[in-house]
Amino acid sequence: MSVELRQRIYEELDSLILVDPHTHINPHAPASETLADILGYHYYTELAHSAGMPKSEIEDPDAEPRERFGRVIGYLGPLRNTIQYSWFVDIARAFFDFSDDHITPDNWEQLYDQALEKMSQPNWPDEVLRISKLESVFLTNDFDDRLEGFDTNVYIPCLRTDELVFHLHKPEVRRRLEGATDTALTNLPALKDAIGALFDHFVSRNARACAISLPPDFAPTRVLDGRAETALENVLRTPEDCDQRDCRALSNFVFWTLTENCAEHRMPFDLMIGVNRGVYANGVFQGQDLYDSRVSLIQYAELFNAFPQVTFPISVLASVTNQELVSYAWIFPNVLTSGHWWYSNTSSFIERDLAARLEAVPGTKQIGYYSDMYKLEFGLPKFRMYKQVLAKVLAERFVIDQGWSEQQAVQLGSQVLRENVDRAFPKLG
């Protein structure tokens, strides 16, 4: 009974046209050029490396895409149990008519060629969006991105601010900020102006969110202008060596200033909480980051209290933080639950985290899912995975456990999948 019920709910949810509220798509090259782009995604390179593939082989600068792809295929055997491998098979089936059980050293070449032909068609990105039932996707833009040359109604800009908050002590970052805003960063007012100018630019280009990823030990606090001024002076005087306390003061000041600008421009601030960068120093590209799950949202209490007018869609890296997220979203009007991030973006973690959210956070305050993808082809399998888990939770915990009608369940699913994205990220400017 339950399996058929899930399937019916899934099919209703799968008929929706969605907006993907967080991706790393490059709007100038949104889809893959070859299947090597697919297996070049860090989920595959890091898992293949973890299962025994040498980094030198993965990141060989001399290898052509076809060769790189074929090499990784040889290491997929140990990954067949992973949900990430299932995304790849889903892509092969949905887009490239693949029909075998597995992608192996014996059958990959035909698949590669078939994909190459489709990917070479000029309208391929639009075709992927159409098949994936995605109407638009949010980007992750460097603060100095010109945001030109693409349709900002389909590829919606989002101001990514990690570098501003954590690396402003680096001359190169300051130079880029000066260039982007035509401002000399000689003192604190100039820094404030520069940040304000970024927001003006992004809003004028249809940006609908500001975003940042944060390490587990970050605990934002308001820093007085005087303290920030001193920190900035010290950084400017000795650019080669930022005192840790100055760095922290500057980080906090920039973070707070960004939030003030979010308030002023009514822009939501996506907080992605919990990542430690570079933990596995010799890992493959983008396969080096991990975390310390000992983080608490109480570190953000001052922020949530200080900015009641700013919407904070929150993602947490570890499932053990999910209950705190549920509780904070349950009483703070400005805290929203947002997606299932990275190491929590696998079926069993989604299932338990989602169940906890659906039963205790107002239905209007949950952003169900984002793909986090770098290439458009991943939207389909990732959203499918989520919709399958969502259908399971709705079937088991609402229809069966609580006697909801299927229609009510589908409505709730639709709300977290689509309506809340429109609600949380309205058009600005």
**Per-residue tokens: 171:** 């001359």
Of residues 164-223, those binding a second copy (CB under 8 A): none
- Tell me the sheet residues that pair with 212: 271
Q: Under the criterion CB under 8 A, does residue 281 sit at the interface with a second copy?
A: yes
Report the candidate in 13, 107, 22 with the shortest Cα–Cα distance to residue 385: 13
CB contact set of 21 (below 8 Å; sequence gap of 6+): 138, 209, 313, 338, 339, 367, 370, 421, 424, 425
Distances (CA, A) of 6 to 17, 141, 416: 19, 37, 17
CB of 17 to a second copy, least distance (A): 22
Which of 159, 355, 376, 395 contacts a second copy by CB under 8 A? 355
CB of 231 to a second copy, least distance (A): 27
Q: Under the criterion CB under 8 A, does residue 21 sit at the interface with a second copy?
A: no
Handedness of CA 212, 163, 257, 149 (dihedral sign): negative
Which of 114, 152, 206, 288 contacts a second copy by CB under 8 A? 288
What is the spatial distance between Cα 271 and Cα 289, in angstroms, rounded to a whole number? Answer: 17
Site track for a second copy across 362-381, x = CB under 8 A: xxxx----------------
What is the spatial distance between Cα 378 and Cα 91, in angstroms, rounded to a whole number? Answer: 7
Site track for a second copy across 299-338, x = CB under 8 A: --x--xx--x---------xxxx-xx-xxxxxxxx-----
Q: Under the criterion CB under 8 A, does residue 384 sit at the interface with a second copy?
A: no
Which of 18, 297, 395, 421 contacts a second copy by CB under 8 A? 297
Stretch of 18-26, 178-186, 250-258, 396-404 lying at the interface with a second copy (CB under 8 A): 396-404
CA dihedral 317, 323, 327, 330 (to 10 degrees): 80
CB of 379 to a second copy, least distance (A): 19
Residue 140 or residue 319: which is nearer to a second copy going by CB?
319
Which of 360, 422, 426, 429 contacts a second copy by CB under 8 A? 360
CB of 154 to a second copy, least distance (A): 29
What is the spatial distance between Cα 133 and Cα 376, in angstroms, rounded to a whole number? Answer: 11
User: Which amino acid type is present at position 300?
Assistant: Y
Stretch of 30-38, 144-152, 219-227, 282-290 lying at the interface with a second copy (CB under 8 A): 282-290
Of residues 40-99, those binding a second copy (CB under 8 A): 46-47, 49-52, 78-84, 86
